[in-house]
Each structure stands twice: as C-alpha cells, then as structure tokens.
Amino acid sequence: MAAAASHQQQHRHPKRRRLALALTTSPTPDAAPPLDALADELLFLSFALASRACHAAESRHRRAVRPLRADLLPAALARYPCATRLDLSLCARVPDAALSSSSCSASASAIRAVDLSRSRGFGAAGVAALTSSCPELADLDLSNGVDLGDAAAAEVARAKGLRRLSLARWKPLTDMGLGCVAVGCAELRQLSLKWCLGVTDLGIQLLALKCRKLTSLDISYTMITKDSFPAIMKLPNLQELTLVGCIGIDDDALCSLEKECSKSLQVLDLSQCQNITDVGVSSIMKSVPSLLELDLSFCCPVTPSMVRSFQKIPKLRTLKLEGCKFMADGLKAIGTSCVSLRELSLSKCCGVTDTELSFTMSRLKNLLKLDITCCRNITDVSLEAITSSCTSLISLRMESCSRVSSNALQLIGKHCSHLEELDLTDSDLDDEGLKALARRSKLSSLKIGICLKISDEGLTHIGRSCPKLRDIDLYRCGGLSDDGIIQIAQGCPMLESINLSYCTEITDRSLISLSKCTKLNTLEIRGCPMITSTGLSEIAMGCRLLSKLDIKKCFEINDVGMLYLSQFSHSLRQINLSYCSVTDIGLLSLSSISGLQNMTIVHLAGITPNGLTATLMLCGCLTKVKLHEAFKSMVPPHMIKNVEARGCVFQWIDKPFKVEMEPCDVWKQQSQDVLVR
C-alpha cells in the first residue's frame, strides 16, 4: 500500500521526480548542467517565489519613498508600509486630491518626514490632509510655496510633533499664520522663514515666546527690525541664526543687544546686511561668547577695531568675509585676534595684499580651509607663506589668482599633504605643477579649468596617483586630448563628475574610457565637436547613474544617441542638447525617461513644433524648459498652459544662432579684456 502511494505521488508530480533524479544522479562528462534538466515551469515557479520573497523583504525594510508622479503616491505608500520618509521632489505638481488620497492609506501613519519643496499645485486642503494622515510627522519641507499663506499655515499648526519646518518663500504668509504655527508647534527645533515678506517683528516675537526649544532660525530677506532681536536672543537653546539680506537690521539693532547675551548661539550669518557697519558688528560680539561660525560676506568694510572685537569669541572656527573691503591692517588683525580659525574665506575681497596675507597665514597654522578666489593682487609671496605655514589644509580655493606663477603653484603639491579639494581655475598651472600635485593622493576634487599650459602629460600624473578623485573640472583646457582623459578614467574609478566643455580635441575614445566609471553622474562635454553618438551611447550603457548631461554644440550627436539615453539612462534629470543634430524622433524618445526634469533645447534645427509639443506633453515630470523665443508662437497656447499646470516653468531665450567657437586662448583674452574694462 505504501509502495502504491509512493508510486501515485510520483505519478502526480513527475517534475519533482525529475528534479530528484537530477540532484541525486552523478553527472557524466557529457551530461547537461543541472539547471538545464529542470522543467521550465519549475524554474519559473522558483524565480517567482524568490521575486516574491525579495519584494516582501524590500516592502518591510524600505524607509524612503520617492515616487515619480503624484498619482503613484497611494500605491507607493501601500507597497511600502514601513516607510518613514516621503520625498515628492520629483513631482512638479502635487494636487490636493493626491495628498487627500494618500491620507486614506493606513501606511501613511508611519511617515515622519515629507519633502514638498519642489512641488506645486496643492493648497490648504492638501496640507490639512497631509497633517491629519501623518500623526507622527516631525520633518516638513514646504519651501517655495509662493501661493501658500495663513490658511495653509493654520493646517501646518495641527502637526503638533513637528521638529523641523521650512516655509521659505511663503510670500503671502503674515504674522497671523506664523502665530498659528508658533502656538500649535511648540516642539519646533528648526524653522526657515526665508523670503516670507509678510512676516514682521510681531510674528517673530510671538514665535520666540511660544517655541522655546528652537535651535535654528532662518529669517533671511524678511522685514524684521531691531524690535525682534531681544526676543530672539532670549531663546535659551538657539544655536544657529541666519539673517541674510535683512535690510531692517542696522547698527542700532546690533547695539541694542549689549545687555542681552546668548550663550548657546554658535552660528551667526549677517551676510548681505548692507546697513550694518563695523561698529555694529563690534558691538554684538560680547553678546555671543560661544560663537563658532561668523559670516559677514558682502556686509561691511573690515577694520582692525572690528577684528579685534573677535577676541571676545575665542572659540571662533569659521570666518567668512567674501566680497568685503579690507582697510589697512584689517587682515593682519585676523592673524592676531583669531588664532583658533579653521576656515577662512576671503573670496572676491578688495585690499588683500601679500604683506598682510602672509602675516595672517603665519599665525593661522591650524587652518584647514582657505578661499582666496579672485584675490588678484597676491603673488608668489602669499602662496609661499600659505604652503609653509598652513600644511594641514584640506581645501584651498584660489581661482583667478593670475599673478601667482607656475613655479609657486608647485609648492602646493610639495607641502600640503592633506589636501582633498583644490581649485586652481584660470591660473598659470602647468604640467610640472600637476606632477607635484600628483603626490597628494587624497585629492577628491580638482578644478583646473582655463589652465592653458596643461597637457596630457600632466593629467597622466594625476590619473596614476589620485585614485580617490571624484570631481574634476577641465573646462576650456585646450591642450588636452583623449590620451589624458583615458588616464583619468583608468586611474580614478570613483569619478562622479567631469567637465570637458570646449576641450575641442576630445573624441569618442574619451567617452568610451569614461563609460567604465560606473559612478559618473555629471558629464559636461559642451563644445566638443568631435564627439558623436557612438561615444554617448557607451556612456549611456556604462554610466547608469548619469543625472546631468550637457552636450550643447556637440554637432555630431544625433537621434541614435538619444535612443541609447532613453533605453539606459533612467536616472537622467537634466539635459542640454542645443545645437545638436537631434530631430523629433530623438527628442520624443527622451519622453521615456520618467524622471527627466530640466531640458534646454535652444537652436535645435531638426525639431518641429509638432515634435516639440508631443515631447512636452509626454514628459510628465518636467519642472523647467528653456526654449528659443521663436517657438513661442509655434506651440499652441493651450499646450503651454497644460504643461505649466503640471508645475513646469518655461524660460524663453532670444539668442542669435552662433556655431563658431573661439579658441581657448582667444576666449580667455577676451574675458580678461572685459574684466579690465
């Protein structure tokens, strides 16, 4: 009986019997591999079960959801019930209905963070649905809600557990709406009210009274005055205060704080506060004894007396003075009064001389980051002082320091052994300088655009010695060819971004080698006329993370390249294909890239109004499109309105058709002539 049952079971499951035989029988040299012996149905069932198991595991463990379209939101939340972060930054338009439909999902109750900073189309009703369906909401970014006001703010106030909130650019918001938020969200730690032009001192005072746990407050470009300051400075836990471009803040406002003291404040940003002078800055220093970072960029002249007041903040680590004018001995005073500095920015400053900069550098021996971009009066003397005194530098930016010689630039590679980020754009750098820099194997970012003396020889040294390089800018380096780029591609497998714009000798060989850099996400090859669709197709197949592509004036790139992008580059978010040989066929193929957000298609001779219209309608995630002015009258107005209703912004460009490209040395000379004038 048992034998009969066994025979019957084998008869019912012949495929199982074949599987058992395949696994137990010793294979002969001529026998087929085990998988080949399995029935197709069994293989399908096995893979289906494995896929189902993977799907279930992903569903349980995924914590972030980033749908491409708002209508996919309910399905995404249902599929990932354990998700705690909802990122809608790819959805240009999120209507109230989408947020309301998501509130019906039980999984929405687990969401703790929502990003709607790049989305439009929703109002107070959508915000109400969001806050009611997400009781655990702690992080909400509603930046750029230019049409949102007090009604929406009242709905935000229902999220009692909010810790981080951004209402930047809520221009209709008034003190009434801010008051609702202040009363309802007493647990707030971080708040941004940047460009909230309707907010006044009254709203800020109420906020400071109710939200006592605030640690970060950004009220840049608001209309606040000195009446707000005492209440702000009394916040017991405030660590970061950002006041960029607050024209109502003047010396009187800062001087009024002499009796106030914020022992918790660590970061203060007063950049672009144009009504502040050195007197006001000096007066506030005694009120912020724990300050670690101070930003006075484009604010006021730097005087010795103002800098000496920094002695009252002995813990100061970061000082940003971009665009400031230095008075006599002002820079020297930094060397004597700010000896604990780790980061100093003097970008675009006037009055920076060799004498004062050298003295300051000799005192700041622990400096880690230095920015002297466009300090055009410094020479080799300054660089010698920097490299001999600040040997711990990890970041050095000195773009357009045109009076520093190539010999002096070699000192960077010889002495700055910890360097990770270097910007020598528009400098006298040559191959010997690159050879010296190759000693710095920790380099991750190298910007050497408009360096006309470098060649493949110098770039070869970098490729062979800097394996950690992630970002390299070779803009308008006319002396480079494929050989140098191939060395970079082979020696820098971590490469994420490369700019080869106007390197006119570059061909498809470079792109074929770069296609092996699988982490590459940004490729700029504008003005490389010898590159064709062959090279671009290799990039599309090899660099699946590509998100930004600039192929303007690559005349030989045609529809074939676009077809490869549509097939393989599903991460593409931004593309510029002006002046290419793309027609309607290639342009339409790009519509299959579901996440494409930004397109520039000025002077694309091969496209027609019908092809352009069809592409715009099919690319549902577009947020910004640049078109030539001539197309404005050719595309049906109702089509443009439909695309704009999805959240897309059109920028109409009226530039003449220009194919010719100046040689790099001619272009540089023209740029310098304009600067002198």
Per-residue pLDDT, averaged over 196-218, amounts to 97
pLDDT tens readout for residues 508-561: 999 999 999 999 999 999 999 999 999 999 999 999 999 999 999 999 999 999
Could you tell me if 263 and 240 are in contact, meaning their C-beta atoms sit under 8 angstroms apart?
no
Give me the residue label for tokens 């993370």: 545
CA 81 to centroid of chain Cα atoms? 29
Exposed/middle/buried for residue 637 (C-beta within 10 Å: 0-12, 13-18, 19+): exposed
Percent helix / strand / coil, the chain, rounded to 5: 40, 15, 45
Question: Across residues 635-646, what is the average pLDDT?
Answer: 89
Q: Is the pLDDT of residue 576 over 70?
A: yes
DSSP notation for 400-454: T-TTS-HHHHHHHHHH-TT--EEE-TTS--BHHHHHHHTT-TT--EEE-TT-TB-
| 480 found inside a domain | no
pLDDT at site 200: 96
| Residue 202, pLDDT score | 96
Reply yes or no on whether the pLDDT at 43 is more than 60: no
pLDDT digits (tens, 9 = 90+) for 291-338: 999 999 999 999 999 999 999 999 999 999 999 999 999 999 999 999
Answer yes or no: is pLDDT of 426 > 60. Answer: yes
Average predicted confidence (pLDDT) for the chain:
89
The residue with tokens 């003295």 is 359
Q: Per the structure block, which two tokens stand in for 105?
A: 């999902």
| pLDDT of 104 strictly over 50 | yes
The boundaries of the domain holding residue 258 are: 231-351
Of 236-245, 255-264, 459-468, 635-644, give the lowest mean pLDDT range. Answer: 255-264
| Other beta carbons within 10 Å of 602 | 21
Kindly state the tokens that stand for 601.
């298609």
Q: Which pair of structure tokens corresponds to residue 592?
A: 């299959």
pLDDT at 101: 80
Backbone φ, ψ for residue 497 (5° rounding): -145, 135
Q: Is 21 inside a domain boundary?
A: no
Residue 318 lies in a domain: yes
Give mean pLDDT, residues 636-652: 90
DSSP 478: T
Which residue type, as a one-letter code, is found at position 174? T
In a domain, 330, yes or no: yes
351 φψ region: left (φ > 0), alpha (ψ -120 to 50), beta (else): left
Contact 526, 550 (CB under 8 A): yes
Class of residue 329 by CB neighbours under 10 A (exposed 0-12, middle 13-18, buried 19+): middle
Q: At which residue do the structure tokens 């491409």 appear?
A: 68
Q: Residue with structure tokens 């599903």?
A: 570
In a domain? residue 244: yes
**Over the stretch 358-394, which tens digit does the pLDDT of each residue have?**
999 999 999 999 999 999 999 999 999 999 999 999 9
Q: What is the CATH number of the domain that holds 269?
A: 3.80.10.10
Does residue 332 fall inside a structural domain? yes
Please name the amino acid found at residue 488: I
> Alpha-carbon distance 9 to 180, whole Å?
72
Q: Would residue 223 count as lying in a domain?
A: no
Burial annotation 253-274 (CB, 10 A radius, 16+ → b, else e): bbebbeebebeebbbbbbbbbe
State the total domains in the chain.
Answer: 1
What CA–CA distance (Å, rounded) separates 298 from 226?
Answer: 20
In a domain, 380, yes or no: no
* pLDDT > 60? residue 22: no
- SS3 per residue for 258-317: CCCCCCCCCEEECCCCCCCCHHHHHHHHHHCCCCCEEECCCCCCECHHHHHHHHHCCCCC
Distance CA 133, CA 105 (A): 8
- Which pLDDT belongs to residue 23? 38
Q: Quick check: 639 pLDDT over 80?
A: yes
Other Cβ atoms within 10 Å of 327 Cβ, number: 18
Contacts of 243 (CB under 8 A, 6+ apart): 219, 220, 249, 268, 269, 270, 273
DSSP 70-111: GGGHHHHHHH-TT--EEE-TT-SB--HHHHHHHTT-GGGGG-
CA angle 161/163/166 to nearest 5° reads 115
| pLDDT attached to residue 81 | 87
CB count within 10 Å of CB 171 equals 14
Q: Which residues of 34-72 are buried (b: 16+ CB within 10 A; e: fewer)?
A: eeeebeeeeeeeeeeeeeeeeeeeeeeebeebebebbee
Which of 69-83, 330-344, 636-650 shows the highest mean pLDDT?
330-344
The alpha carbon dihedral of 341, 346, 349, 355 has a sign of: positive
**Other Cβ atoms within 10 Å of 336 Cβ, number:** 16
Mean pLDDT in residue range 401-421: 95
Environment class of residue 124 by beta-carbon count within 10 Å: exposed (0-12), middle (13-18) or buried (19+)?
Answer: middle
